[in-house]
Structure 1
């Protein structure tokens, strides 16, 4: 108790900086959240999920106006956020420990024991621009379900939907300070937040360089990192080629490729290479760019002109090394055309560096062993996909370091109940509602001597 009082006094003694203010409010809310029964935490989550549906168009418009999505993509994200909070409400009631059989050893006879799941404490969350509502929900929802106060630092370009979510939670009775949003740059505000001694757990979604910096700042504390990587998709000769092409193109250009599950490499069996490439080029050419508020627009722009220029630079590097441009490749301001490139040498940046834009590498392989060898040589990824009619071929991919293997769907297939993440350097720990709640909880053992 003395330590907690001292910590609060130290924070109060500092100037009223943004970090000091939100930390103090979170510390004030911590005992309230700890003492809130599971059914009431579930009620906050359930009621706010319903409020999201009631405000879906306003939330979608904010997502479009601040970020990179079309109105159709934004509406889909709002519906996912609704579902994610509903899942959190369900899991809030199921975050239980286990009974320990003490009589498994002689001196344990006459004793019973169990574990309770206790909230880990104040959670600091850093979120990106590409899913500015649902990825906030994926951190806030589990924290509330676990009984933890949470402070979110959204991407500086897209804070609006996070602030709208905060207003909905407050409208539905969540205690003051239990969820807060602080704006500012990651290098300044984000670093101060993560390094603060009152923060007991850090959860981050974003790029590799920033994620590694967060890991250093959070050293010694529980940390969940999702840092992306290069996701690949394999098309076998026995695949349903039309289905494969349709789903791969969707995974290439959703959110203009600004997706940690973006299909960046497509490896196609030599026997069907020409057929699949023809279909991919044709479907890519049908992607409609334009006003993101138009119902007819398929793909929006990148988050900034600098991001578009970075994509142009990565593509230029590949073309300069002898790659073949199949379609696209033009940049205009923040806009970048859907782009396919083949014959890319392994020394090109795009072969191993996450592009985070609408560019995909097409590769030919001969035999599954060759495909596996190429994928094994790459860094770990969040997801790997394969299109095949075989029940056994996908098991050959298990040796590849990836967080998930998706069969007959694109790498960007995801439901919000799934465990989500990848092995280092793609990530650390796992997200997804149930996994996140567990990571924001810690077991406390109770032992009762009946003798």
Structure 2
């Protein structure tokens, strides 16, 4: 393990309430011991973050931008270390870990650019009666301490999606990473410090999520909570956060429709959809989980999809040829297998998969799945996809909207009016026409409807949720 991670953890361990074992998801072997930080440690971190804010808020936008850009360069220089750390703690195949590091670098560059661009607006006061004689404008000011609670599946880039915007506007931030994947966020601390970030402007506190998260939620000095995780926890956070700003990126069971008009592209779409469904074992919040295919092309699509799925290779995540690896833990593996069995009992057809594979689950395709089966109406967060045949686009649209979630959805169609119709009628935050719902670029607005979230991420949009807007009027006739 890298020395910088060990040094950071040693500091935390000195005052922590013991440690807990960090387990490699693929091998189920112990990696190391992680500090189980106390509530007092979190409170101390908040106090340090408040002090660091006095330095952060007076940095110029150019200075903050330079720190973020230098951080991106340092991560690029240490790309192999970061990718190996992600794979070690999350079990993510190394090619996907390398992709996550690339996205992290890009996200930081976007944050560096947007740090220089955060601007208010000029307001014509004379548009109102008696408003003449005044120049007025708005400015954005940092809010202070941000508390970030992050998930296991993207232990670096989803941290940066909170850290980059927070630092870009002049805030400080405390990250409470997922218990199962804290190493990447700790490794990031060393790089930010090397890039010139003021001390304690970024801190990582490890340990029990519900307990330490509650300290962040309850503490008056924490001005915003940004959380990525389950809808159940997200709803609890929102109910407890009071007047704090809150951003919640929650679950999904992303849907895709494939129209008969794209018949000539069916094999290409099937190959793309396999990647969207099974990347990182489906442990992606916008994983392609529900596919609805027009009856004209359904048979062909399923044949091509099955061939591409069965070609996926399970193996050592450090092997560049590996596609599938162990799931995050045994509990998840057991749950997914139970959900598959339930769907089959409900009448679904098992096309392939549905079995344990060492510490993972074979990529699974289910057809003709009931809307009441958990693999259809809940978030699987595993390597399972359903493919249901529909008579037309309207039937697909109705099925896609029949969900408590509303994050991403995709549509493949060459029928332009149909594409616009789906774009306007799908009850989701992002519609991807002629792309998979698993698509996300790091600068685009990203937020969900229904139980999928509250507020927006995407660098520029996250920044706007981490500031105060202040109105200033100058009466030059007084």
Shorter-chain TM-score tier: over 0.9
Structure 2 residue matching 1:392: 3-state secondary structure: helix
Structure 2 distance, partners of 1:347, 1:377, is 11
Q: CA RMSD in A?
A: 1.2
Distance 1:332 1:16, change over 3 A: closer
Q: 1:106, CA displacement in angstroms?
A: 3.0
Q: 1:211, CA displacement in angstroms?
A: 1.3
Deviations 1:198-222 (A, max 9, x none): 1101101111112112212213211
Structure 2 residue matching 1:151: 3-state secondary structure: strand
Q: Does 1:81 align with 2:104?
A: yes
Map of 1:409 onto structure 2: 435
Q: Give runs of aligned pairs for residues 51-90 of structure 1, distance below 5 A.
A: 51-90=74-113
Structure 1 residue matching 2:387: 3-state secondary structure: strand
Map of 1:447 onto structure 2: 473
Q: Does 1:421 align with 2:435?
A: no
Q: Does 1:303 align with 2:344?
A: no
Structure 2 distance, partners of 1:230, 1:69, is 21
Map of 1:207 onto structure 2: 230
Structure 2 residue matching 1:106: 3-state secondary structure: coil
Q: 1:333, CA displacement in angstroms?
A: 4.9
Distance 1:218 1:229, change over 3 A: same
Q: 1:375, CA displacement in angstroms?
A: 1.9
Structure 2 distance, partners of 1:42, 1:165, is 17
Structure 2 residue matching 1:80: 3-state secondary structure: helix
Q: Does 1:159 align with 2:182?
A: yes
Q: 2:44 aligns with which of 15, 21, 41?
A: 21
Structure 1 distance, partners of 2:88, 2:233, is 25
Structure 1 distance, partners of 2:99, 2:217, is 31
Structure 2 residue matching 1:345: 3-state secondary structure: coil
**Normalised TM-score (structure 1):** 0.95
Map of 2:343 onto structure 1: 318
- Asked whether the equivalents of residues 308 and 333 of structure 1 are also in contact (C-alpha less than 8 Å), the reply is no
Q: Does 1:218 align with 2:241?
A: yes
- Asked whether the equivalents of residues 325 and 359 of structure 2 are also in contact (C-alpha less than 8 Å), the reply is no
Q: 1:16, CA displacement in angstroms?
A: 8.3
Structure 1 distance, partners of 2:90, 2:402, is 34
Map of 1:352 onto structure 2: 377
- Asked whether the equivalents of residues 39 and 211 of structure 2 are also in contact (C-alpha less than 8 Å), the reply is no
Structure 1 distance, partners of 2:401, 2:283, is 24
Structure 2 residue matching 1:386: 3-state secondary structure: strand
Deviations 1:41-88 (A, max 9, x none): 001100000000000000000000000310100000001000000000
Structure 2 residue matching 1:107: 3-state secondary structure: coil
Structure 2 residue matching 1:69: 3-state secondary structure: coil
Q: 1:380, CA displacement in angstroms?
A: 3.1
- The answer for unaligned runs of 5 or more in structure 1 is 1-14
Q: Does 1:41 align with 2:67?
A: no
Structure 1 residue matching 2:405: 3-state secondary structure: coil
- Asked whether the equivalents of residues 50 and 82 of structure 1 are also in contact (C-alpha less than 8 Å), the reply is yes
- The answer for unaligned runs of 5 or more in structure 2 is 1-37
- Asked whether the equivalents of residues 307 and 334 of structure 1 are also in contact (C-alpha less than 8 Å), the reply is no
